[in-house]
Amino acid sequence: MDIAGRSDVGRVRGNNEDSFKLLPELNLFVLSDGMGGEAHGEVASALAVETITQHCLEASKNPGLPMEGEPRLDLSEKSNRLLSAVRIANRKIYDQAQADASKKGMGATVVAVWVDGERMCVAHVGDSRAYLLRAGDLQQLTEDHSLVAEQVRRGILTRQQADQSKNQSVLLRALGIDETVDADGAEHVLIDGDVVVLCSDGLDRMVTDPEIASAILTSGGSESTVERLIELALENGGEDNVTVVVLRVQKVHDGFLLRLWRWLNGPLDEDS
Amino acid sequence: MKLILKFEETTLKEIGLGERPVSIGRGPDNDIHIDNLAVSTHHAKIYKDAGRVIIEDLNSLNGTFMNNQRITKSFLKMGDKILIGKHHIMLDDTISGDAPVAAPKVSAPKIQETVMLDAKARKALLDQALAAQAAGGGTAAPAAGAPRAGGTAVQPPVPPRVKVPTLAVIAGKTDQPEYQLTGKLIVIGKSDMATIKLRGWFKPKVAAQITKRDDGFYIGKGDKVPSVNGIPITGPTRLNEGDIIEIAGVKMNFNFRE
């Protein structure tokens, strides 16, 4: 996998409340957009990415690490671990916000993916997004937990009205607001040539889906894709912090003969 | 809620109006700084009081005008034109104007600043949205992913009929005779994670996929190019009721089931 990520403060804001962390050793990638007065948005988003990556790292060494929340039987263990990490992050942010009056209202969105072979686990809360570009077609994998997205789902607003709405910043779910959080989890299969993009709303509010798709298709690697997407967000106004993580799934040779060869060589591999 | 500073037809600045007063004047310490000698150092201020917006002239030399009348203190509404020197200021209160939903009183958000609603506010807001939908005769069926937030979100009013998009297998080897389409990305292939699991040797991991968009379900290619009603697709193709999909030796019928 070819992985890159970058965060930019944008052209309007004085501070960057986004955080992200890439753990290529686990194939775990987490992005969070914080909110709250003073510098508390930064605190919340940093706490989210740290807590999630830490919990997953610990779990990779100690699979018996207790999980938080009800397990989802329709999802793999890794997805459940990731959801557990998101719930723990929620509790940590909530506890900090409750303990310190000045941090009241502090919160964060999160989108996290954990790639496990051909399986990709996606967990998210809020309006940070995961996109998949496959066969030239861009698809948003996550459903925004925002008021306008809910209104679109219910047929109250059209997508176009939603894009112009002044209510775009109203979230229905976020980390740190309530004692528990309802985190969305899903699993997808990855194939050769897939490109996954994680972003904060500073990208998708500035750059349209077709622009995102064409930027991915015309950039060579993940690094240049990230640069191009951030450049577009800034060109179109850069009204918010913008953070982009790109994963390009490169050719995984798992044809029949290769699998046979691996199978024949399996025991040798374990010895070495 | 925000204030817009204009010079002739050009918008110079937009500034959110929160709980803190917004000051206007020639001095650089003002929130809205107008560099023009007709403007006093501290010329006027705009602030919220008990849910209403008030503009107050601060004994300026050349005065503050609202709708061509000199004022000292007045309520400010949408559409009112404030003139200070040669600059106009207008109130933009469209926070709820574009949607049939009243802005939550609990946390009137400043533009561009993300706000989150706690369980109570969320319920109030969704209640309003639903009431508006009922009143406005919203047509779309509630999405399958209606809010499940901690048991606090409201349930949609009982819809007359819920239509579930379904793929029924007509021919070919799959693990089920019929599939209900839920989620944003539905994979047809041999993968364990495929919703529609193909059986047999040499079937691709991801033969094709169906994606859910605002206006319906689209089929797109994976390792194979699917056909819809006998015609190979050239790009993502919207599925209509009754369409016949053929992919990797499997034939399926797309329908909405009640």
In tens, the pLDDT along B96-128 reads 333 333 333 333 333 356 777 666 676 676 677
Among chain B residues, CA nearest to A171: B116
List, for chain B, all residue ranges whose pLDDT scores fall below the cut of 70. Answer: 94-113, 117-120, 122-123, 125-126, 129-162
Collect all residues with Cβ–Cβ distance below 8 Å to B83 and sequence separation of at least 6.
Answer: B64, B65, B66, B68
> Could you tell me if B158 lies within 8 Å of chain A, comparing CB atoms?
no
| Whether B187 and A169 lie within 8 Å, measured CB to CB | no
In degrees and rounded to multiples of 5, residue A87 shows phi and psi of -65, -35
pLDDT digit string, tens, across residues A149-201? 988 888 888 888 888 888 888 899 999 999 999 999 999 999 989 999 999 99
Residue B215's alpha-carbon distances to A15, A160, A214, in angstroms, are: 37, 12, 22
Question: Which chain B residues in 208-247 lie under 8 Å from chain A, judged by CB atoms?
Answer: 209, 211, 214, 220-223, 235-236
Chain B partners within 8 Å of A134 (Cβ): 209, 220, 222
Kindly list the distances between the CA atom of residue B158 and the CA atoms of A146, B191, B256, in Å, as whole numbers in the listed order: 23, 37, 18
β-pairing verdict for B87-92 and B82-84? antiparallel
Asked if A105's CB is within 8 angstroms of B98's CB, the reply is no
**Token pair of B133 as six digits:** 């939908």
Minimal Cα distance from B207: which residue of A? Answer: A191
Structure tokens given for B77? 């509404």
Which residue is closest to A76 within chain B, CA to CA? Answer: B193
pLDDT digits (tens, 9 = 90+) for B216-246: 899 999 889 999 999 999 989 999 999 999 9
- Pairwise CA distance, residues A247 & A23, whole Å: 12
Residue B16 touches chain A, beta carbons under 8 Å? no
State ipTM.
Answer: 0.75
Residue B136's φ and ψ, nearest 5 degrees, are -85, 0
Of B141, B147, B193, Cβ closest to residue A189? B193
pTM over 0.90: no
Q: How many residues does chain B have?
A: 258
Is the CB of residue B121 less than 8 Å away from at least one CB of chain A?
Answer: no
Between CA B62 and CA B41 the distance in angstroms is 11
Q: At what angle are helices A222-235 and A209-218 packed, to 10 degrees?
A: 140
B255 contact A CB<8A: no
Q: Please judge whether B95 and A240 are an interchain contact, meaning their C-beta atoms are less than 8 angstroms apart.
A: no
Q: Strand pairing of B231-232 and B227-228?
A: antiparallel
Mutation for testing the B interface, residue in A78, A156, A253 having most B CBs under 10 Å? A156
Helices A40-61 and A77-99 meet at what angle, rounded to 10? 140
Contacts of B156 in chain A (CB under 8 A): 154
Q: How many Å lie between the alpha carbon of A58 and the closest alpha carbon of chain B?
A: 26
Contact A35 B95 (CB under 8 A): no
pLDDT computed for residue B182 by the predictor = 85
- The two beta strands, B32-33 and B22-25, are parallel
- Residue A100: strand pairing partners: none
Instruction: Note whether A35 contacts B136, CB cutoff 8 Å.
Output: no
| Closest alpha carbon within chain B to A255 | B202
Which of A118, A141, A166 lies at the smallest CB-CB distance from B111?
A: A166
Average pLDDT over every residue of A21-44: 92
Nearest CA in chain A to B117: A172
Min Cα separation B221/chain A (Å): 7
Give the pLDDT of residue A150: 87
C-alpha torsion sign, points A44, A47, A51, A52: positive
* Segment holding A259, helix H or strand E: helix A256-271
Residue B17 and residue B111 in contact, taking contact as beta carbons nearer than 8 Å: no
Kindly state the average pLDDT of the residues A2-20: 94
